[in-house]
Structure 1
Amino acid sequence: MTALDTPTRRSPRTRPGPPRLPRNARRFLLTAHIVTSVGWLGVAYALLVMALTARAADDPATRATTYQLMLDFDTAAMLPLGLAALVTGVILGLGSHWGLLRHWWVAIKLVLNVAVLVVPMLTRHPALVDAVDAARAGLLTDPAQQVLDGSIASVIVLTAATVLSTYKPWGKTR
């Protein structure tokens, strides 16, 4: 019998890189990731509805109240849910077979999530503060367009991230 005739015996498969999460931990983190991501998207849609409501209101008091509510949601819900979704997603990426930068959909989703966390806090949040002040001063002209644009962008980007999670396109990175 030659070396070509002998059946090859496979060695147990070893995984390169960091250890994978245990099954129950992975399921817990996946559940937490889905809940926080869905909540984040829901808050983004609510902020969009509020931005449209404030833009359509003729009463400065209604505008001020709506913008103040948006500001509260931005601080108390949008930021914490976004951070929780990002942290659970990174831990899942590092502790599962998907990897953090191993697949295109994961890498792009990571970039989108960081962008939708940072950009609105640098643009929409300050515009909301200005909008509250303008509405309280009785002005009907305020930075409402920037508030509306930020809300639309957040909804689009978070919806795109949801689509990426569902379809998982493009295969592996190099």
Structure 2
Amino acid sequence: MIVPIGSAGEATRRTGTSGPHPARSVAVHGAGDQRRCEPDPSDAPGAAVTSQTPERRSAPAAASRWRLPRSWRRATLVLHVISAGAWIGIDVIVAVLVLTGWFGAEVNVRSLAYRALAEFVVRPMLGSGLACLATGVVLGVGTAWGLVRYWWVAVKLALNLALCILIVVLLVPGMDAVGAYGEHLLTGTPSSTQVGRLFFPPAVSLSVLTFATVLAVCKPWGRLRRSTARRDDR
């Protein structure tokens, strides 16, 4: 915009309000002693954004991690809860059968309890434990909770895995001896050492599963790694 020299103050006011950028310098041109206001190059749109806006950081790798769709997440969660409930129910059945075998009034009832324990109970227990473990892993990988991001998730995973290993290593191999003990009750007096430790599996398993249920409801202890928390909050 070109204005007379006598209106320099007015020119300054106009250039300060009519244009998108403030005036930096005034140059004199020609015999008419006219002045033209030139914009400040540092006030260009790109320069203004660069000087005032911090550089945008790249999104963390966790933002692009695979996530379960909502419907699949709900279905997996339902399966996880059902398998955990079935596992607890089977442990209760094991406890009832063990107590019946120990304190039953009739030999036939005691024999039947031990044979049923050996034949029908342990494999469904293992199946429900593995289903609970598999669905828990899927929920951890496919949701924001992760597998080792939060203490309660990591502890639940470790407890579930430990119980499944104990079933395979300690409980399943001894079931043939328990069934044989139940058959021998009808014909003689077999050694009670074969079934003397059957109280521990349901007691330990029920205690651990109850603790895991409390962890799932209360979700205590926060994040497992502080560095992960700072990286996810960016």
TM-score bracket, normalised by the shorter chain, equals 0.7 to 0.9
Taking structure 1 as the reference length, the TM-score comes to: 0.86
Higher RCO (CA-CA < 8 Å; seq separation 6+): 1
CA distance in 1, matches of 2:169, 2:153: 24
Q: How many residue pairs are counted as aligned between the two chains?
A: 173
Q: Deviations over 1:22-66 (max 9, x none)?
A: 111111111111111111111111111111111112544322211
Structure 1, unmatched stretches of 5+, are none
Taking structure 2 as the reference length, the TM-score comes to: 0.66
SS of structure 2 residue aligned to 1:123? helix
Return the offset for 1:154. 1.0
CA distance in 1, matches of 2:158, 2:143: 19
What residue is the counterpart of 2:12 in the other structure? none
CA distance in 2, matches of 1:10, 1:49: 63
1:162 equivalent to 2:213? Answer: yes
**Which of these residues, 27, 31, 36, is aligned with residue 74 of structure 2?**
27
Give the root-mean-square deviation of aligned CA atoms: 2.5
Tell me which structure has the larger Cα radius of gyration: 2
One-letter amino acid of the structure 2 residue matched with residue 69 of structure 1: A
1:69 equivalent to 2:79? Answer: no
Q: Deviations over 1:104-139 (max 9, x none)?
A: 111110111111112133223333321221231123
Aligned counterparts, 1:1-174, within 5 A:
6=52, 16=62, 18-71=65-118, 72-75=120-123, 77-138=124-185, 139=189, 141-174=192-225
Structure 2, unmatched stretches of 5+, are 1-42, 226-234
Task: Compare the two structures and name the one with the higher strand fraction.
Answer: 2
Q: Is the 8 A contact 1:30 1:92 kept in 2?
A: yes
